[in-house]
Chain A
């Protein structure tokens, strides 16, 4: 071993480490104590994320590391099949020869650590932010988890309010986002109890590991978004989008696509390559009817008139066949769009024409969340220190 090299200074070693995949970084914690504390530090995770986001302007580089996840819903799900619920695929969009890899995570160990019973469980994905995925098992507020699939760290959140009171909320919404001002990942839980128009907002700070209650929503510009129904003065129902600002902790109406049909149309909201995106799926009417799927993008954030339809699919369906689930995954600057459609991932070019079909991902998709690999820790500051 005569390959004596000049020892590289630490700042250069860091530059190299920032470019490594998460799996390699975690392995290299074994190299030395110094490497371990460097790779485990919040500063490194943050810088790693920043470098990755800045190279993400280079489409090919980013998408190579883009993963998307789907979950499998098992109607009769025994505890043994829990491990097969989550599926993760990797999509290499720009490459002509790319295929979609599918790999599944063993959720059994995750579930065992976090949920008392996993029998009959379903997994609901609420969103992702900088590599952290928010989901719940059984769709219960008491089973909320923040999970980093790349580092395989999961943190079960304490319930936002006392669940023993017997007053279960009748509905709730969740979201995860990043508050840059305090470098904190926050989970927002909006719940409605049985009295009409009585909403409560709870915010979880991943740094402190605790919830706080924000009484009765207030509305402002922000980053987390939900679809809502709104009644106008004539009791006409409209759909709008509400945003929640994690810094100011206030709500605002953002404005949805005008004149979308209400009946028979399902709407979904997603983040598409940094744009707020809306997917509308309209069922086919009659035997020879066609279903319609449209993907809209808010080109200028906060300007409802900037909603633009970037993709559409109209097809006739055999009677009884449902409209395929569609979720846009990635929208490149050259106009190429990847859509998870039914059980495939399909890439379209800017003119709605099929360019290639990717391999089968899963046979059943209900939720999807796009995330990319990061070192971001789901644990509170205190837990993180203890683990280091």
Chain B
């Protein structure tokens, strides 16, 4: 963090649905995308974030504030991230991973993708197709053959009850 003195600088971020958010620059520059804009001097007025909606941006800012308030202690940061993501559903996580990617926040990206993986881990193939919007392009015979090859990996799969 920059060792600046005096009043902390505040940035205004604008989501793609025109919501405005104020955030301390020191927290916002966790995003490399925002940091670059600040360094390029584009941070004078409002910073438009065209790929992030208001709901997701609010969540990302909560994260930025939370994580930057924790001093350099990886353990504490990790437990903050775990807690922060613990109650998020798949759709929210998907929005967040896109936002983290766009904002170039590697720590959030890592944490969210790991969380998505954790949610997916025991899910069925059908669940994954549905949630990721993937079309099944196998013929039934082909699919049965692939399944047969890895039959043991279908043990212990959760039943899909959370459509």
Contact = CB atoms under 8 A, between A and B. Distances in A.
Interface in A1-44: 1, 3-9, 12-13, 15-21, 23-24, 26-36
A30 B117 contact: no
A6, A23, A31, most chain B CB atoms within 10 A = A31
Contacts of B118: 19
A27 B135 contact: no
A4 B95 CA distance: 11
A5, A16, A30, A152, most chain B CB atoms within 10 A = A30
Given A23-B153, A24-B153, A32-B135, A12 B128 contact: no
B121 A1 contact: no
Given A6-B94, A32-B135, A26 B153 contact: yes
How many residues of A sit at the interface, in one of the four size bands? 20 to 34
B98 A12 contact: yes
B90, B125, B153, most chain A CB atoms within 10 A = B153
A15 B114 CA distance: 8
Contact of A31 (B91, B98, B117, B129): B129
Given A12-B101, A17-B117, A19-B117, A30 B133 contact: no
B97 A1 contact: no
A3, A6, A16, most chain B CB atoms within 10 A = A16
B98 A6 contact: yes
A35 B132 CA distance: 12
A12 B138 contact: no
B139 to A, nearest CB: 10
Interface residues of B, number: 37
A60 B128 CA distance: 28
A251 to B, nearest CB: 41
A27 B157 contact: yes
Given A3-B91, A3-B131, A12-B97, A31 B153 contact: no
Contacts of B138: 30, 32-33
A8 B132 contact: yes
Interface string B103-129: 000000100011011101110010011
Contacts of B97: 8, 12, 15-16
B136 interface: yes
B143 interface: yes
B137 interface: yes
A12 B137 CA distance: 21
A377 to B, nearest CB: 14
A5 B125 CA distance: 17
Contact of B129 (A6, A9, A32): A32
B122 A24 contact: yes
B150 interface: yes
B2 interface: no
Nearest to A14: B113
Contacts of B121: 20-21, 24
B163 interface: yes
A32 B125 CA distance: 9
B117, B120, B133, B143, most chain A CB atoms within 10 A = B117
A28 B130 CA distance: 13
Contacts of A23: 152-153
Contacts of B98: 6, 8, 12
B133 A28 contact: no
B154 interface: yes
Given A27-B157, A32-B129, A32-B136, A20 B94 contact: no
B120 A24 contact: yes
Contacts of B146: 29-30, 36
Contact of B113 (A6, A16, A29, A30): A16
14 contacts: A3-B130, A3-B163, A5-B133, A13-B132, A16-B97, A20-B117, A24-B117, A24-B120, A24-B121, A31-B134, A32-B134, A32-B136, A32-B137, A35-B134
Given A4-B133, A31-B125, 9 more contacts: A6-B98, A9-B101, A13-B132, A19-B113, A27-B125, A27-B150, A28-B120, A31-B128, A31-B129
- Going nearest first, the 7 A-B pairs with the smallest beta carbon separation are A19-B117, A27-B153, A26-B150, A26-B153, A15-B113, A30-B125, A16-B113
